[in-house]
Amino acid sequence: MLQELMKNISEADMVLIAVGKETETLDLSGQDMFEKSAEFYRESFAELLQDIPEQTTSQQTKAFSKLDFYNRIEKLVKGKDYFVADLSVDGIIYKSELNRLRIVTPCGNFMKLQCACSDKLEDAAPYYEKDVCPVCDICHQKMVPNVYKTDGYNEEGYLKQWNLYNIWLQRSLSKKLFVLELGMDFSVPTVLRWPLERVVFISNTAKMYRVSEKYSQFPPEIANKVTSIPMNSMDYIGELENG
């Protein structure tokens, strides 16, 4: 399995890693988005660059495993012309060894706070540390994490990198592209899943690995270009390392 994957990466001119919601470690469903984010930051996120403590909660274990997942991906694509498009909002990818200039997170990042009434974005860390939610000085409402589930989601937080990603992706149409899609589902299929299927379809040389525990299916139009791997994507990357 590892040999075949490395052969595809080695032979490609460009490598795209697309990470889906299967890997998400931060659940922001419901009304208490700031409280959930602050708790996640204090208990897990702030510790990620330190040694793993002897006693860890299940949430901390997930966070450390996610960081290891990204660092293993970095080893796979090191030295290649790569880009990572990640639907996670937990921000862990920015703690990894992956090049930040090669990362885009179109669903947002809980480490920024926003208010729906303006284009204002603020660094969330000082507020999470104190567990004090800031109030917007324009509408006087509490600010919330800058993620796609937020009413009035402010896309300015990721648009610059999204534009770079699209320029990079357009360039891949004349190159040999390999897409490693990890844990994609149908929560926001118009952002990555369906567009990437189209890219693979129109490219004469593109190949894709679609790794997902539940959604590794693919349309018949690209059947000769896609390898389906019905497996949890984090387990898959972990097994590659062990192999």
pLDDT tens track for 22-37: 999 999 988 799 999 9
User: Which is more confidently placed, 126 or 54?
Assistant: 126
Pairwise CA distance, residues 66 & 26, whole Å: 11
- Residues 29-53 have a mean pLDDT of 86
| CATH number of the domain enclosing 22 | 3.40.50.1220
Average pLDDT along the chain: 92
Please report which confidence band the pLDDT of residue 119 belongs to, taking 50, 70 and 90 as the band edges.
confident
Structural domain that includes position 200 = 2-242
User: Which is more confidently placed, 54 or 138?
Assistant: 138
| Angstrom distances, CA of residue 239 to CA of 2, 49, 76 | 9, 23, 13
Please report which confidence band the pLDDT of residue 57 belongs to, taking 50, 70 and 90 as the band edges.
confident
Burial class (CB in 10 A: 0-12, 13-18, 19+), 39: middle
Please report which confidence band the pLDDT of residue 242 belongs to, taking 50, 70 and 90 as the band edges.
low
The predicted model scores a pTM of 0.94
Give how far the C-alpha of residue 55 lies from the chain's centroid of Cα atoms, to the nearest Å: 27
pLDDT tens track for 124-149: 999 999 999 999 888 888 999 999 98
Pairwise CA distance, residues 237 & 143, whole Å: 36
Give the number of domains in the chain.
Answer: 1
Q: Which helix (H) or strand (E) holds 17?
A: strand 14-19
**Which phi and psi angles does 158 have, rounded to 5°?**
-125, -5
pLDDT tens track for 85-113: 999 999 999 999 999 999 999 999 999 99
Please report which confidence band the pLDDT of residue 55 belongs to, taking 50, 70 and 90 as the band edges.
low
